[in-house]
Amino acid sequence: MGGHLALDFANTVDDPEGPERYDHAGTYPELVGWSARIGVLRPDQADALLGAAEEHPRASFATLRRAHALRRILIDMFTEVAMINSGQPAGTERLTPTARWAELRPFVTDAIAHAQLAPGDSMYQLTWPETTRPDAMLRSIALAALDLLTSPQLSRLKKCVACPWLFLDQSKNLSRRWCAMSVCGTDEKIRRYVSRRAARRRS
């Protein structure tokens, strides 16, 4: 929905401050399930991690906490960029690029430290041979975040006008406003229709 792995991970909480809050990565099995659905983990790898998590609950809980820390970093960092992209004030708590990088770097360093370079069809790709590490999914997400941060695509990053979700606007004239028309676009349209009608009644 966000159009990028790093944003999809940042968007794993529905209605973050509202009554219908739902965290799609709220527990370790949910984090693994989400990662398998989105293709970050292979199905057999996800099964192996879920099996290992039952034997090593502390390791999987530590991974869950790191995952939530990484998500917080991505949300703060990319929301700030999205606000700047749309000409809105980015808030008073802006971190310097150095401070942002200090937060993200341990995740990127860990990903690179354990990676191997494997030949693909027309280019090389990073792979992680030890597939049973409980935090295997965090590596791809951390590198995806670095990739977006250093890509020209970053200028297309936006925040939905109706919810906190982030997305890449791939429309030609940068006119997209909602994370998904079917979710927030419709809600927003109904809201505007209702307030227009209310205004007409008042006048």
Contacts with Zn ion by CB under 5 A lie at 160, 162-163, 165, 179, 184
CA–CA separation, 73 vs 160, rounded Å? Answer: 18
The two three-digit tokens of residue 127, written as one number: 């792979």
| Closer of 92 and 175 to Zn ion (Cβ) | 175
Whole-angstrom Cα distance, residue 57 to residue 59? Answer: 6
Query: CB 91 → Zn ion: shortest distance, Å?
Result: 19
Which residue, 102 or 190, is less far from Zn ion as judged by CB? 190
| Nearest distance, CB of residue 86 and Zn ion, angstroms | 14
Angle between helices 136-149 and 97-113 (to 10 degrees): 140
Cα(57)–Cα(62) distance, integer angstroms: 9
User: Closest distance between Zn ion and the C-beta of residue 167, in Å?
Assistant: 8
- Length of the chain in residues, anyone? 203
Residue 104 · residue 180 · CB < 8 Å = no
Q: How many CB atoms lie within 10 A of CB 190?
A: 10
